[in-house]
């Protein structure tokens, strides 16, 4: 046990300097006034005025996470049941877009979705009317799904490869049809993977500002944009920005709490 904690020392030091101290600073800035430096709740009260922005961010992130799950789950299952070489190829294809810069990947979507982009010029060629594909919340959700899908696939895939083939065969022997195999065997066994996938997809999606900035147009101002403006825009206000990000952190904490309670249930279940 002792050697274990010693081995973790570099990480503990890392966490102390780059997580704990910055977090304390965020709280400090959120709770002090910009002009006088005195302790105040004004920043937090101000930040809560923009609660609708937070709701909109959560809403888009929830939809994106749900779509990611629906796309990723069948893929991960198929992957885990195919031969090793096929698995390697699919995994490579899943990870391939991640090799490219995040900003570039999102920027490329503008070229595709734009009013004069690939799709619309193709439609015009065919004599069809143009469709509005960019500058709406749909485009933002698309951007989120595209960017965060690998985050959903990888944990699902790694947990499903651990499901023994014999378990599935056993359930088939005991009279489960195809649908029941999924719901009674695969789904419960892959539940921890679903929770991890949801967490690692939802958290970056809810705080994004690049995607909404590039694809969202006028009506998709998200909490990430709000925070970004306070730190990098000409609204430059560290205290208010810190308060806003604290508000976001609280929401993320609460959702993590909910997910973790599921995880605990799962543990208890498997103990019984």
CB under 8 Å, gap of 24 or more: what pairs does 208-212 form? 208/144, 210/102, 210/103, 210/106, 211/106, 211/140, 211/143, 211/144, 211/147, 212/140
Residues 10-49 that bind other proteins (CB under 8 A): 35, 46
Q: Whose Cβ is closer to other proteins: residue 5's or residue 234's?
A: 234
Among 19, 82, 115, 180, binds other proteins (CB under 8 A): 115
For residue 244, which of 52, 11, 9 has the smallest C-alpha distance? 52
Smallest separation (angstroms) from other proteins to the CB of 202 = 11
For residue 155, which of 82, 222, 99, 79 has the smallest C-alpha distance? 79
Smallest separation (angstroms) from other proteins to the CB of 257 = 12
Question: Does 124 engage in binding with other proteins (CB under 8 A)?
Answer: no
Question: Does 117 engage in binding with other proteins (CB under 8 A)?
Answer: yes
CB 177 within 8 A of CB 37: no
Question: Does 82 engage in binding with other proteins (CB under 8 A)?
Answer: no
Question: Does 116 engage in binding with other proteins (CB under 8 A)?
Answer: yes
Helix (H, G, I), strand (E, B) or coil at 39: strand
Question: Does 197 engage in binding with other proteins (CB under 8 A)?
Answer: no
Q: How far apart are CA 253 and CA 243, in angstroms?
A: 15
- Residues near other proteins (CB under 8 A) are 35, 46, 50, 52-53, 55-56, 58-59, 62-63, 66, 114-117, 132, 135, 216-219, 221, 225-226, 229, 233-237, 258, 261-262, 265, 268-269, 272
């Amino acid at each position: 046990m002792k050697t274990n904690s010693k081995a973790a020392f570099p990480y503990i030091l890392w966490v102390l300097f780059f997580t704990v101290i910055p977090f304390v600073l965020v709280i400090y800035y959120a709770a002090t006034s910009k002009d006088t430096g005195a302790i105040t709740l004004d920043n937090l009260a101000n930040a809560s005025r923009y609660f609708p922005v937070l709701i909109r961010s959560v809403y888009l992130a929830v939809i994106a996470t749900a779509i990611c799950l629906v796309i990723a789950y069948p893929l991960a299952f198929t992957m885990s049941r195919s031969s090793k070489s096929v698995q390697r190829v699919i995994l490579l294809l899943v990870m391939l877009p991640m090799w490219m810069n995040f900003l570039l990947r999102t920027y490329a979507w503008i070229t595709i979705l734009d009013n004069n982009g690939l799709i619309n010029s193709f439609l015009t060629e065919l004599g069809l009317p143009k469709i509005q594909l960019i500058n709406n919340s749909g485009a933002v959700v698309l951007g989120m799904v595209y960017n965060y899908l690998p985050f959903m696939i990888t944990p699902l895939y790694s947990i499903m490869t651990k499901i023994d083939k014999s378990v599935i065969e056993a359930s088939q022997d005991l009279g489960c049809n195809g649908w029941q195999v999924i719901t009674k065997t695969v789904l419960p066994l892959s539940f921890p993977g679903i929770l991890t996938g949801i967490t690692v997809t939802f958290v970056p999606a809810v705080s994004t500002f690049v995607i909404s900035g590039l694809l969202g147009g006028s009506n998709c101002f998200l909490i990430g944009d709000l925070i970004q403006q306070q730190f990098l825009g000409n609204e430059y206000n560290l205290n208010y920005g810190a308060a806003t990000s604290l508000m976001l952190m609280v929401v993320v904490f609460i959702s993590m709490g909910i997910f973790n309670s599921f995880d605990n249930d799962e543990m208890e279940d498997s103990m019984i």
